[in-house]
């Protein structure tokens, strides 16, 4: 019998504390599976964020530092510049990367920092209880857009992959999703390539992974996956935006 899915050996024994049906677990396990496959767990340094993604450091069996809200790319810059031969990656949510941390992510890309950013986009602030994020879809109800996001009032959702792909120093940018097994496999392939970009020393790499937040969306997990497919993917097209 072949093993189709297993817990990565680069994760420690702590059980994930994500909400039932949340896809963070899939994303994190996928990242760590790639680290296993590349055989770089001994050289990997993870840089955490603030938000639900910020739980990540507690589950990994590799060198880790947490960051302040949005500052992971700056923190990772310091780590990578002092450890140029190590594999340094950030793991950030959309509140972290696309709102409070836009300056840091843009300039890490702009300087062609040889780091990999894993950007988990679930169109909301999960940990603080489902507030509106810059990525929240038009019309989406959240606790701070209780009547639905009105683009006239607070703009349309920001597309980070498209924006970062315009920057010279960004060498690999791809948007994927984890709503079905085929997309999970594509996500893994993209994350692997984003790490290879770093290993080759080419520059900044990011994979944006569309993810769900059943708890704050007020949906059953399967409905959340369906929403990801029906509403998020049409606005956030999957695909590669920059390759090397």
By CB under 8 A, name the binding residues for another protein: 41-45, 47-48, 57-58, 60-68, 71, 74-83, 86-87, 103-104, 106-107, 110-111
Q: How far apart are CA 158 and CA 65, in angstroms?
A: 28
Residue 159: what are its φ and ψ, rounded to 5°? -105, 100
Closest CA to 182 of 225, 217, 148: 225
Smallest distance, Å, CB 146 to another protein? 29
Q: Which is nearer to another protein, 59 or 217 (CB)?
A: 59
Sign of CA dihedral 115, 47, 15, 26: negative
Q: In the chain, how many H helices and how many E strands?
A: 10, 7
Q: Which is nearer to another protein, 78 or 237 (CB)?
A: 78
Residue 227: what are its φ and ψ, rounded to 5°? -65, -40
Q: Which is nearer to another protein, 97 or 238 (CB)?
A: 97
Smallest distance, Å, CB 140 to another protein? 30
Smallest distance, Å, CB 39 to another protein? 10
Smallest distance, Å, CB 14 to another protein? 12
Q: Which is nearer to another protein, 32 or 184 (CB)?
A: 32
């Amino acid at each position: 019998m072949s093993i189709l899915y297993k817990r990565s050996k680069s994760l420690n024994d702590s059980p994930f504390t994500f909400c039932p049906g949340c896809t963070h677990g899939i994303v994190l396990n996928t990242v760590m599976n790639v680290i296993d496959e590349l055989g770089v767990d001994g050289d990997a340094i993870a840089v955490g964020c603030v938000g639900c993604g910020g739980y990540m450091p507690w589950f990994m069996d590799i060198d880790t530092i947490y960051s302040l809200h949005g500052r992971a790319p700056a923190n990772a810059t310091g780590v990578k510049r002092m450890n140029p031969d190590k594999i340094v990656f950030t793991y950030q949510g959309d509140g972290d990367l696309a709102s409070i941390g836009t300056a840091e992510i843009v300039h890490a890309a702009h300087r062609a920092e040889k780091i990999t950013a894993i950007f988990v986009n679930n169109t909301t602030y999960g940990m603080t209880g489902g507030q509106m994020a810059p990525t929240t879809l038009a019309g989406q109800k959240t606790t701070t857009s209780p009547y639905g996001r009105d683009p006239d009032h607070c703009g349309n959702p920001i597309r980070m992959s498209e924006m970062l792909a315009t920057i010279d120093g960004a060498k690999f940018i791809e948007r994927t999703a984890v709503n079905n097994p085929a997309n999970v496999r594509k996500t893994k392939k993209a994350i692997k390539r984003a790490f290879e970009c770093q290993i080759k020393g080419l520059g900044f790499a990011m994979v944006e992974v569309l993810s769900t937040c059943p708890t704050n969306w007020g949906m059953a997990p399967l409905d959340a996956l369906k929403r990801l497919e029906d509403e998020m993917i049409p606005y956030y097209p999957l695909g590669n935006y920059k390759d090397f």
